[in-house]
Every structure is written in structure tokens, then in C-alpha cells.
Amino acid sequence: MTDLVKKVNFLRLRYWLPEEKFQEARNRLFQIEDSVSIRDKLEILSAAAEQDVCSPRTRAVRGEPSYSKKRCLPGIYPALLPDGKIINLFKVLLTNRCELNCLYCANRKNRNLIRDEFTPQSLSQTFIQYLQKDFVQGLFLSSAIKDNSQRTMDKMLETCIILRKKYRYPGYIHLKVLPGSTPEQMEKAVELANRVSLNLEAPNSERLKRLSPQKISFSLLENLKTLTKVAEKYNQRLMTNGQRLNKTVSTQLVVGPGGETDKEIVYLTEELHQKYNLRRVYFSAFVPISDTPLENFSPTPLLREHRLYQVDWLIHFYGFKAKEIPLDEMNNLLLDKDPKLLWAESDSNKHLFPIEINRADYYQLLRIPGIGPVSAKRILEYRQKNKIHNLQELKSLGAVIKRTAKFILLDGKRTEVLEKKIPSSELLLPLNL
């Protein structure tokens, strides 16, 4: 391992833990193996997993460090959940040895870097040690493709089998399915994991050719369809406690280097949710990596990634159609304003507002800026017994008044004047409203 890599990972530990806990944590973590090789593998292969996304980088847009960039013990990834909570996942590659030459990827075959790999036995043992020390609450397992997809996928599945059967681990596993995996492997992946994902990388084959020409032959969309069908089959089964299984499927797109427009991504996102029943679509703003063909390509603004997540939310949870999403003349999202607010302010939709807050149904409420699924449900529950009389009552139900006020009526009256009574310090802007 190079001195630079050692220094970076040393800082990663120090940043996450208080100084007095730093040495104690590192010593406790590795006291069972007493093996430098395991430590080195973990530091290399956890860093190599950074390009795989399992949580939006929402904080970066608000001027805070991205959770995926916060420094911590190697392998620990603080994942942001949809409800705003954070869980620590053990996020790692089985190997960073790869037969593919994706133009953007840090682990591409022709790139000069330190290569390493875990065995299924050593990886599962290391994860269990993290789990027993309460460092993590789940596993995110991905891999580069060594030799071929099927052999590598077999080792990933073996890792999960060891965890489920030998260690009796019942908790969360997010398993990446490699392009080129067989239908039998995909079936087994869904059986073992809570969530499976297969990266599309680009919205269509034309864009994929610019990023990863070797993946064109893998029929990624067909494989994704297979995964969703298998997940639906498992979700029909009842567990011993009478509850249904909850197997979910997701995918990931690299944003920027393929030259795609946001319109292409938005329409694909709608298709993935409606036809493929995907739980999440993750977006990864492109960051150029040295010693790759795209090292001089401009990075994609994080704000573009953020807007795509907002649109994904609007389509998946708010009932918006792709054709309703406001785009500029180049078929891209406008970065300077929230897409839901742009939709509400557009000339074609002004006739829909203001909406009477005491009579609006659930889907009408979702169209109002500043109101999301949680606050809409609270409003409906509150209205069963009471009328909403003022903005303070509405605020107590979770609405963001700064955004909501000019789009609603309260008992037939406009509310802009009332908005001024609320201190600006209280008008915080949530991500998805």
C-alpha cells in the first residue's frame, strides 16, 4: 500500500472518531485477526466501493459534507434513509480486479492501482466483527468483475450464504447483481438479500457506449426486469410471523459523461418505477478520476444530481408524470429552482392555484409546494376533527409555510400577509417538497 493511501485512511479514522477513541477503536476492531493483510484489504476495497451509491448525497447541496465523504473507520458508510435517519452500512467490494474497461471507472482494467480481493470467508468474518462491535447495521456488497461475471457473482453469493447460514445473520443485505449474471444467480441473490441492484449506468444504449462499450451485450434492462419479477414472487410469500417479505430492487445512473439530457433520465426514471416497479433510482454525479480516459472531462454539478433526486421523488411518491417536469430549451432541469415550485409557478398551471387547504384531497395537497406525503396525510387526519384556521396550525402539521402560503386559501382567504409573521429562521427548506 502506498504512503498516500495509508495517510488518507489514517485521516479517515481520525476524522470520524474523537482523538482519544481513535487508537482504541482501531485496535479493538482488528484484535481477532491480528492481520495486517485484512486491514489493508478493507482499506483498499472499501475505498474502491465509493462509486457504488446506496444513499443520496443530499447534504452536499445544503453546504454540508456529503455523508458518503465523511471520514470513518474503513468500510463504514453512513447511509441516509428516506425518512432522514442514518444507518451505518458495511460497504465494500469483494474485489477491485476487473476485466472491464469502463471509461469513467476507478477500477477499470487498464488503470494503474493496487488490486486486492477478499475470500467469501474472510469478508463475512470481518463483517460479523463490525456487527458485533455495533459499528454497522447492515451490509452493502458489490464487486468488480474478475475473470467473468458468473464466477465473481458466485463468490458474492457464497459470502451471503455464509452470513445467513453459518453466522445466522438475519439483518439487512444490499447485494449488487453483476451484469452478465445468470437467471439462477439472480434468483439466489433475491432470496439472500433484502435489496438487490443492477447498475444501468446510462439511460439508453447510445449513452452507455460512451461510458462502457463492453456492457452493451449484457441486456441490462432485461436483467433488471428479471430481478423485479423474482422479487415480486418472493414478496407474495408469508414469513412465519405472518408478514410478507419485502424484497426491493434498485439501479444507478452515472450523470454527465454520457452526454445525456435530463429529459432522457426523467423519462427512464418514470419507466423504471411504473413498468419495473423499482424501489429506488440512484444518481451519481460524475467525478473525473485520474488515469482514466475521462480524467479531463468536466465534473457534473452536485446540484444536478440533487434536482434529479427531487424529480425521482415527484414521480415515485407525488404522482407527477415525466411530461409535467419543467425543462429548459436544452431538455435539462433548471438548477436554480426546485422543480415542483417551477411546475406550480408555470403559466400553464397557474389556474390550479390557490387551493383551498380545508377541501383539497391528498393528491391536490401533494401538488402544493411545501407539502409532502407526510404533511399531506397529517393535514387530512387533522381535518377529520378540525378546520385549519391559520398558517401556524399548518406549520405544526409539517408544511413549509414559506413555500406554501401563496398557493393556498384558508377558508377562502389568501395567506401571503400571514406569512410575514413567521420568523425567517424557522422557514427551513426540506429536500423533497
In single-letter form, the type of residue at position 209 comes to: K
Nearest alpha carbon to residue 56 among 370, 318, 302, 337: 302
| Number of domain units in the chain | 2
The confidence score (pLDDT) of residue 240 equals 63
Does 126 map to a domain? yes
SS3 212: coil
What does the pLDDT read at residue 158?
98
**pLDDT at residue number 21:** 56
Distances (CA, A) of 210 to 216, 222, 293, 294, 374: 10, 20, 11, 10, 40
Read off the pTM.
0.82
386 three-class SS: coil
Give the residue-averaged pLDDT of 313-322: 96
Does residue 307 lie within any of the structural domains?
no
Q: Which of 152, 176, 200 is the last residue of a domain?
A: 176
Long-range CB contacts (within 8 A, 24+) of 234-241: 234/190, 234/191
Q: Which residue has the higher pLDDT, 9 or 246?
A: 246
Say how far apart CA 273 and CA 314 lie, in whole Å.
11
> Domain containing 14: what range?
3-176
Residue 54: band (very low, low, confident or very high) from pLDDT cuts 50, 70, 90 = low
Q: Which residues, 6 or more positions from 251, have their beta carbon under 8 angstroms from its beta carbon?
A: 197, 198, 199, 200, 224, 272, 278, 280, 281, 282
pLDDT score recorded for residue 119 = 95
d(CA 169, CA 166): 8
Tell whether 267 is covered by a domain.
no
To the nearest whole number, what is the mean pLDDT of the chain? 85
Per-residue pLDDT, averaged over 115-121, amounts to 94
Q: How confident is the model at residue 80 (pLDDT cuts 50, 70, 90)?
A: confident
| Cα separation, 29 vs 90, whole angstroms | 13
Please, what's the largest Cα pairwise distance for the chain? 72
The confidence score (pLDDT) of residue 31 equals 47
Least confident residue range of 7-21, 46-60, 190-204: 7-21
Cis-peptide, bond into residue 354, ω within 30° of zero: yes
Residue 335's SS3 state is coil
In a domain, 44, yes or no: yes
CB contact burial 223-233 (16+ within 10 A = b; e otherwise): bbebbbebbee
Report yes or no on 43 lying in a domain: yes
Asked whether residue 325 is domain-assigned, the answer is no
- pLDDT higher than 90, residue 295: yes
What is the band of 404 on the pLDDT scale with cuts at 50, 70, 90?
very high
- Structural contact between residues 373 and 318, judged by C-beta atoms closer than 8 angstroms: yes
Of the residues 123, 157, 176, which one is the last residue of a structural domain?
A: 176
Do the bridges between strand 408-410 and strand 280-285 make them parallel or antiparallel, or are there none, so unpaired? unpaired
Measured in residues, the chain has a length of 433
Query: Average pLDDT for residues 298-324, to the nearest whole number?
Result: 97
Q: Which of 160, 176, 192 is the last residue of a domain?
A: 176
Q: How many CA atoms does the CB half-sphere of 65 hold within 13 Å?
A: 8
Let me know if residue 312 belongs to a domain. Answer: no
Long-range CB contacts (< 8 A, 24+ apart) of 387-394? Answer: 387/358, 387/411, 388/357, 388/358, 390/418, 391/415, 391/418, 391/419, 391/421, 391/422, 392/422, 394/357
Strand order, beta sheet including 138-142: 76-80, 86-93, 138-142, 172-176, 195-197, 248-255, 280-285
- Structure-model confidence comparison of residues 303 and 3, the more confident one: 303
Q: What is the pLDDT of residue 66?
A: 42
What's the confidence (pLDDT) of residue 69? Answer: 40
Contacts of 68 (CB under 8 A, 6+ apart): 50, 53, 55, 57, 77, 78
Is residue 149 assigned to a domain? yes
Percent residues over pLDDT 90 in the chain = 70
